[in-house]
Amino acid sequence: MGNPIGSGSSPMTSAARPAVINRFFSGSAWIEGAALNQLDEMSRLPGVLEIAAFPDLHPGKYGATGVALLSSRLHPLLIGNDIGCGMSLFALDLPLRKLKIDRAVERLRRLETQAIGEAGDLLAEAGLPVDLAPDALGTIGGGNHFCELQAVETLAEGAGAAGLDDQGLYLLVRSGSRALGAAVFSETVAAHSGLAAGLDPGSETGSAWLASHDRCVAWASLNRRLIAARAAAALRADLSLIADIPHNLVRRSDRGFVHYKGAAAVTTGELAPIAGSRASLSHLVVAGAGISRSLGGISHGAGRKYDRATMHGRVGRNRSEREQLLRNSWGGIAICDDRALVVEEAASAYKDAGQVVSDLENEGLIVGLASLRPLVTFKKAVDEAEVEQRRRKPDYRREGGRGHERY
């Protein structure tokens, strides 16, 4: 039996014979030894047949993140709690020449207050139950989720056919199934003490998890569309979809079930974003003919270089440093009022997305079409109504029992 994967409390049981691991990264990729150790343990899980590892590979709680894994069994622990998390890229009908970044920041601060219609109707249109987490629709969440206003930095030949031009503006949205996926994950873990061995896809429990999983994936896609719709409304623009690519999910294949753990699930000819950071370029690529070699997977982003805890000792030690982290060299601004998140999501926490794209191109998995620079990145804004309520509420626990306004 192998060691537990990651820091989770439930160890994953290992199989005797390891699966084939195909590494799609060069010696220039920043890969931690802990991620490679987790990759080896994942190769010994019951039912696992093959693994594709990508240049954004990094340690995760229940195994390395940045992989596509083929198995005859279902492994919900690998997919985790943000089932269906992914990225969607949209084109706006707002030209770059008309953009004033400060005004866009002011408007996008109110992104999550924009009206999006009746949640029940939107869910029904998407073929989902009308009571499926309606209150969370159109919300980004925390961690590495964001909505980013971007402009084209470079265009490759043929990028125009993909709907890109260097005078346009674009929205890149990253989010997932929010509390819905978390609830499915918690219920699955609580109900199955032997989950480390995976689930039989033909069993009642396996079928039930797959059905819940499919709803989460569809909900997450709808959520990204509604986040983009809110951002477009705030900017007084219309939008059109360029790409919608999930990262945390299972797809059925003729050989079993491919688990995409922090990896973009794509098919030949499909467009996919590969995210950088809020101070580095993101990329739009097209999946190549050789994508079957990597189980239909590629990197979805740069991947973390340093974990969240480590970042608190590296950057943002004072207010001035944190304010500096909210700006980039293109004059872009990040909207993030959570001081811890500012530090944890600093650009230096991530690898070089350009190196990731280069490795994938050299492996024949993708062709790069464009790079995009970040102009406004929305992550988390303070609820102004809540701040005002707190400001007006006296705090009798301080100042010797006298009223003291809190800010």
SS3 107: helix
CA distance linking residue 201 with residue 172, whole number of Å: 34
Active site (annotated) includes residue 58:
no
Strands 169-175 and 86-92: antiparallel
Nearest 10 degrees: CA dihedral of 311, 312, 313, 316? 100
Helix (H) or strand (E) holding 154: strand 146-155
Both structure tokens of 305: 């270089």
Choose the catalytic residue: 75, 145, 259, 300: 300
Q: Which residues pair with 250 in a beta bridge?
A: 259
Residues 6 or more apart whose CB falls under 8 angstroms from that of 280 comprise 302, 328, 347, 350, 352, 353, 354, 374
For strand 86-92 and strand 239-246, is the pairing parallel, antiparallel, or unpaired?
A: antiparallel
Q: Which residues pair with 256 in a beta bridge?
A: 253
Token look-up 């029992």 returns 401
> How far is it, in rounded angstroms, from Cα 193 to Cα 189?
7
Three-state DSSP state, 275? strand
Q: Are strands 366-380 and 271-274 parallel, antiparallel or unpaired?
A: unpaired
Helix (H, G, I), strand (E, B) or coil at 318: coil
Q: What are the backbone angles phi and psi of residue 311, rounded to the nearest 5°?
A: -60, -30
> Catalytic site residues?
300
